[in-house]
Amino acid sequence: MNNKQRVLLIISGGIAAYKSLDLIRELNRLNISIRCILTENAGKFVTPLSLTALSKDKVYQDLFSVSDENTMGHIQLSRNTDLVLVAPATANIIAKMSCGIADDLATTTLLATDKPVIIAPSMNVRMWNHASTQTNISTLLKRGIKIIGPEDGEMACGEFGLGRMSDIEKISATLNNFFKIKTNKAAGKLKGRKVVVTGGPTHEAIDPIRYITNHSSGKQGFAIARALHEQGATTTLITGPTQIPDPPGICVKHITTAEEMLQSCLDCLPADIVICAAAVSDWRIKNQYSEKIKKQDETLSLELMENPDILATIARTQKNRPNLVIGFAAETQNLLENATIKLDKKGCDWILANNVSKETGVFGGDTNQIKFISKNKIEEWPILSKEAIGKKLTKRIIAFLKDHKNGKD
Ligand code: CTP
C-alpha cells in the first residue's frame, strides 16, 4: 500500500447516502483512499456498483459473508484504516453506537475499531432534537467521537431545521484537517514530551446538595491541552466539572475537588511540563455536612479551610519537579504586581497573568489578554482567542525547550 491516508466510510440508510458518491470523489482528490461499508438500508439509496467504481475497491455489506470474512473480516476492516467515517449517520446507527449494539457489519466494525471515529449525522429535525438522540450524541462526544454538523436548512422531507448532513466540502475539510494534525503530531515538535494541564473549576461540597465553585468554563485549559497535543505531546488534562466534551486523543481525568486535582497531578509525575490553568477553589468547608443543612437562623456561618496549592506543591516540593512549571494569575487589580509576587511565591517558571474583573469577560468568554511573566521578562500579549493563546504558549514552550536543554528562562 502507498502512503495515502485511509478512510473506512460507513454509509448508513438515510437520503443523504446519495452524497457519498461526491464525498468519495472529493476525498480521492485529497489523496485519501476510501473503502466502503454499506448498510442494508443504505443499499436502497446508493448501489455497490457505483461505490466500487469510485472507491476502486470492493464494497463490504454482509457480516456473514464467508468469502468476505476470509479475505477481509470485520476486525481487519476496522483496523486496516486510519479513520472511520460514518456519513450519513442516521439516528438509528447513532443509537446503536451509543449502546454498543453490533447486529450488522457496520455496527460490528464500529464496536471493534480502535481507530478514531467521525460521524456526520443526517436525519429529520425532530429525530435530531429527540431526547434519545441528544443523549446518544453526548455519550459519543464523551467517548471522543467527533461530530460534524448537522446543519440547519430545508430537509428532503420538506421540514426545516437542524438535521441536514454537512456539505461535502465541510466533511472533507474536517478529514483533511484531521490528517494534517496527525502528520503534525508524528513530526510534532513536542513528540516524546509528557505534559500535564489542569483546567476548569473545582467543586467543594458544603453538604450533599450544595457546593462552592467559581465561573471558570475550562476553555483555556482545554485549548492549551489541544495545542500541545497537536504538536505531538503526550498530554493529560486534569479537569474539574465543565460543559466541554473530552478532546480526542488527550487523556482526560475528571476530578471534582482541589484535593482530587492535586492527587491526580501527583499521580501523573514525572512529567516534562505542568501547566496549571485550573481555577482551583482556594477553600473547602472545614467540616463538611453529611446531611442537608436545614434553614434555622437568618444567618449561617461556614468555617472554611485552605485547599492545597497545586501549582506551588508541584513547583516547590517535588523531587521530580518538571522542567517547566507554568501557572496563571487571575487578578482583578494590580495585575503585574500581584502576578509577579505569585511567580515568586509559588516557585513556578512562568505566569500568564490575566485581568478577570467582570467587564473583561475572561471567565467563561472566548478571549483572554495575557501578560506573560518569567523571572526576567514581561511581555504583553494582545487580546487573543483562548485557542490562539494555547498555540502561542505552545510555541513558546517549544522555543524554550530548544534553547534551554537544561537551564531556565
Ligand atoms: N492554583 C493551584 N492551586 C490552588 C490555587 C491556585 O494550583 N489551590 C494555581 C492556579 O491554577 C493558577 C495559579 O495557582 O495557575 C494562581 O491562581 P489564582 O487563583 O490566580 O491565585 P491564588 O493562588 O488562588 O491566590 P489569590 O486567590 O490570593 O489571588
Mean pLDDT of 147-167: 88
Q: How many CB atoms lie within 10 A of CB 86?
A: 27
| pLDDT of the residue at 26 | 95
pLDDT of 184 strictly over 80: no
Average pLDDT, rounded, for the chain: 92
Could you read off the pLDDT of 11-53 as tens digits, one per residue?
Answer: 999 999 999 999 999 999 999 999 999 999 999 999 999 999 9
Instruction: Report whether 74 contacts 109 (CB < 8 A).
Output: yes
3-state secondary structure of 96: helix
- Rounded CA-CA distance 250/138 in Å is 18
CB-side exposure of 147: number of CA atoms within 13 Å? 23
| pLDDT of the residue at 121 | 97
For a substitution probing ligand 1, which of 273, 280, 336 has the most ligand atoms within 8 Å of its CB? 280
Nearest to 20 by CA among 59, 68, 69: 59
CB-side exposure of 353: number of CA atoms within 13 Å? 23
Cell numbers representing residue 324 in the block: 517547566
Mean pLDDT of 236-247: 91
Q: How many CB atoms lie within 10 A of CB 355?
A: 17
Could you read off the pLDDT of 270-321 as tens digits, one per residue?
Answer: 999 999 999 999 999 998 899 999 988 889 999 999 999 999 999 999 888 9
Could you read off the pLDDT of 296-306 as tens digits, one per residue?
Answer: 888 999 999 99
pLDDT of 1 strictly over 50: no
Could you read off the pLDDT of 106-124 as tens digits, one per residue?
Answer: 999 999 999 999 999 999 9
| pLDDT of the residue at 228 | 96
Ligand 1: list residues with CB < 6 Å: 198, 258, 276, 278, 280, 282, 307, 309-311, 327-330, 342
pLDDT of 95 strictly over 80: yes
Mean pLDDT of 354-379: 85
| pLDDT of the residue at 404 | 76
Q: Is position 265 annotated as part of the catalytic site?
A: no
Buried b (16+ CB within 10 A) or exposed e, 10-21: bbbbbbbbebbb
Cα–Cα distance list, 298 to 95, 289, 291, 303, 357 (Å): 50, 18, 19, 17, 31
- Rounded CA-CA distance 362/220 in Å is 10
**Nearest atom within ligand 1 for CA of residue 313:** 7
Å from CA of 364 to ligand 1 middle: 17
Strands (E), 272-322: 273-276, 283-285, 304-306
Residue nearest to atom 24 of ligand 1 (CA): 282
| pLDDT of the residue at 70 | 67
For cell 466533511, name the residue.
171
Residue-range domains of the chain with CATH: 5-176 (3.40.50.1950), 187-405 (3.40.50.10300)
Buried b (16+ CB within 10 A) or exposed e, 170-207: ebbebbbebbebbeebeebbbeebbbbbbbbbbbbebe
Cell numbers representing residue 187 in the block: 513530526
Instruction: Report whether 190 contacts 227 (CB < 8 A).
Output: no
Å from CA of 328 to ligand 1 middle: 7
For cell 475528571, name the residue.
254
Of 36, 99, 157, 268, catalytic: 157
pTM of the full structure = 0.71
| pLDDT of the residue at 363 | 74
Å from CA of 346 to ligand 1 middle: 9
| pLDDT of the residue at 159 | 81
**Nearest atom within ligand 1 for CA of residue 312:** 7
